[in-house]
Structure 1
Amino acid sequence: MNKFIVLKTEDIKDHLTFEEQLFLGALIDRINVCRETEGKTFNDYVVINRNEPYIDEVTGIMKKHGYWEGLE
């Protein structure tokens, strides 16, 4: 299983019905409430497509700092 799931907002709008979008929003809200009760903070991520020409530099930096284990 992947550690993260990334959904492009445009894809959500283009491919889900309004009701499905509301349901997805409710699920995300529930996860955030549960994380809050566990004392976890909101995480803000940076997403980089693996086909970018600078990906080797970015992954090199992540590996150097121990943040690339098991992500390949």
Structure 2
Amino acid sequence: MKRKYIVHKIEDVQKHLSMEQRAQLGVIGATIDSRRINAGKAPASNNSYIVINTDEPYTPQIVEILKRYGHWG
């Protein structure tokens, strides 16, 4: 499966990044939103996702559901 998203736990961002790094992350997000809007797309910050770790015991069942709906691979 090709990696399609970047996910960072909010707790890790708060714990491990400086205030300056968090501000930079905000600027990056705002830039992506602005460029998506300019391209006629909805801002990425409007999206909401469900995230599961691949080592969870129920992951194979989730993968099968995603395959069934054409959202895997």
* SS of equivalent to 1:2: coil
Q: How far 1:46 sits from its partner (Å)? A: 1.1
Q: How far 1:50 sits from its partner (Å)? A: 0.9
In the alignment, structure 1 residue 60 sits paired with structure 2 residue 64: yes
Alignment-mate amino acid for residue 7 of structure 1: H
* SS of equivalent to 1:21: helix
Distance 2:40 2:62 in 1: 30
Deviations 1:14-59 (A, max 9, x none): 1110011001111111101111111212322111111112111110
Pairing of 1:1-72 with structure 2 (within 5 A): 2-41=3-42, 42-69=46-73
Moved over 6 A (4+): none
Q: Which has the higher contact order (CA 8 A, sep 6+)?
A: 2
Distance 1:27 1:35 in 2: 12
RMSD: 1.4
Query: Which consecutive residues of structure 2, in runs of 5 or more, have no partner in the other structure?
Result: none
Q: TM-score, normalised by structure 1?
A: 0.85
Count how many residue pairs are aligned between Structure 1 and Structure 2.
69
Query: Which consecutive residues of structure 1, in runs of 5 or more, have no partner in the other structure?
Result: none
